Amino acid sequence: MKTNKIIYAIIGAVCLVSTSCNDYLNILPTGKKIPTSYSDFEALLRDESGVHSVPVRQASMLLNDFFVSASTLSFERLSEVNYNWKESDNRIVFNNADESTYYQGYASISTCNLLIEYAPNMTDATELQKNQLVATSKVIRALNYYTLANYYAATYDVGTAETLKSVPLIESANIEAPHKQVTIQELYDFMISDIEQALPTLSNQGLTVLHPGKGAAHTLLARIYLQMENYPKALEHAQKALAIKNELYDWNAYYESEKARLENPTLYTRKLTPLNHNYVETYYFRHGTSPNFPSSETSVRVDRAARFETRDSKFASRWKLRTVGNDTYYYSMMTGYYNTHGLTTAEAYLIEAECLARTNKVSDAMNVLNKVRKTRILPDAYQDLSASTIVDAVKLIQRTKQNEFIQSIVPFADLRRLNKDPQYATTLTKTENGAQLSLSPSSHLWIMPFPQGAIENPGNGTIEQNVNK
């Protein structure tokens, strides 16, 4: 779904094309055209690179959710520290090389702010159209803040949320407006308020997959409440989302249709991905690898691939083992655009499953989990999973969820949440160049440092680092 671009030099757009984004809060939103009509404003939400793409590369790097060559790590110092869990190195010094999460996140927020502030006065639009455009922008803005909060700040904890700092809360498109680095609690309250204000106006499905509707809004609320460990509210919204749309894609059928290509050990021909804008599970589409042109997915480490279930058709459809020179990894078998960072029915199901388990409905939780697995695990290997305890059920659900949303913010946010509880806390381990490495659940590396440019040029406000190094 590539769209015709209208040139607006708004804050975020300038950041994405300029050689330096350090002054992102000091750039006036002037341009070749001032949006006035409904078509002008609505076109802003079809800017897929500026609005619907916020990468989380360093989070995936920390989880080792993809393969990175030694040659790449040799010149990407920040990536090398996160990938090899070098706790003694100061990432703040190196964080002027991968600032895209921060600046693309706030670029998308700036577009949403522009719409929320000025769309009510647009021409050639009904009141419903105006209100729905504002509501859509509020959901997208909330999702951006969720990503930023779970990247640059500590995970939500009821004991510390009212005191620990989160990220700058910017609500205005006016670059002269003051902003504040709010607490974690304040930001979560803001996200929930944004979505709750939007819900009454949204249609069940948005105008396009780039326009989140009620299904997307409920799924995002479920994600937020799950992070807050408010399981009844997360369950309520996951089930509301599934009442609107509950389809699952049959990855087993896809694998069978491509079996000859996928099981040929010497054939690496790529095919268009089903994870595109038309993916049947989509409530809201948000780009993965690249919003600008069709591309392959990032390769996966061999030890990370081992954590997928045997005969996982979704994994086997996307990646195949390959050796190139001294490197062995799972190579992408698809090309196109990927709904890696969006909101889907699969996420709503897996949130529902965990919340059912957490409220001691273990059997019901496993039924939901198995409903998803039946579309992912090939019939010759499939067996229903069962659990006798809440802890066992949550671990099984998380295994599927970590794999389902690999290379998105979801696994990173979930592990940070689970690491607070000794029953679920995970120490990551690996062997790298003959050395045994590990990452503890309490490591400071689970919080990404703000980019140097943001600290040095905070605009009309202040920003404090949330991590020492």
CB atoms within 10 A of CB 249: 19
Rounded Cα distance between 161 and 303, Å, is 35
Rounded Cα distance between 331 and 321, Å, is 6
DSSP conformation letters of 111-175: HHHHHHHHGGG-BS--HHHHHHHHHHHHHHHHHHHHHHHHHHSPPP-TTTTTTSEEEEE---S-T
CATH number listed for the domain at residues 11-201+445-456: 1.25.40.390
Distances (CA, A) of 302 to 52, 66, 274: 30, 9, 24
Residue 417, C-beta contacts closer than 8 angstroms, at least 6 positions apart: 155, 156, 226, 227, 229
Mean pLDDT by 10 residues, the chain (469 residues): 34 35 37 76 92 95 95 90 95 80 94 93 92 97 98 97 97 87 98 98 95 98 98 98 98 98 96 97 92 92 97 98 95 96 98 98 98 98 98 98 97 98 96 93 97 88 93
Strand pairing partners for 181? Answer: 168
Both tokens of 21, joined, read 């984004």
388: exposed, middle or buried (C-beta count within 10 Å: 0-12, 13-18, 19+)? Answer: exposed
Q: pTM for the full model?
A: 0.92
Rounded Cα distance between 345 and 154, Å, is 27
Rounded Cα distance between 218 and 21, Å, is 33
Q: Is-contact 29 173, C-beta < 8 A?
A: yes
pLDDT given at position 289: 76
pLDDT given at position 33: 62
Rounded Cα distance between 441 and 410, Å, is 16
pLDDT given at position 83: 96
Q: Tell me if 11-201+445-456 shares its fold with 230-422.
A: yes
* All structural domains of the chain with their residue ranges: 11-201+445-456, 230-422
Rounded Cα distance between 452 and 468, Å, is 13
437: exposed, middle or buried (C-beta count within 10 Å: 0-12, 13-18, 19+)? Answer: middle
pLDDT given at position 25: 36
Residue 148, C-beta contacts closer than 8 angstroms, at least 6 positions apart: 54, 101, 102, 105, 106, 167
CATH number of this structure's domain 230-422, picked from the four choices 1.25.40.390, 3.30.70.100, 3.40.640.10, 2.60.40.10: 1.25.40.390
Q: Is-contact 329 299, C-beta < 8 A?
A: yes
Rounded Cα distance between 70 and 301, Å, is 13
197: exposed, middle or buried (C-beta count within 10 Å: 0-12, 13-18, 19+)? Answer: middle
Rounded Cα distance between 388 and 33, Å, is 62
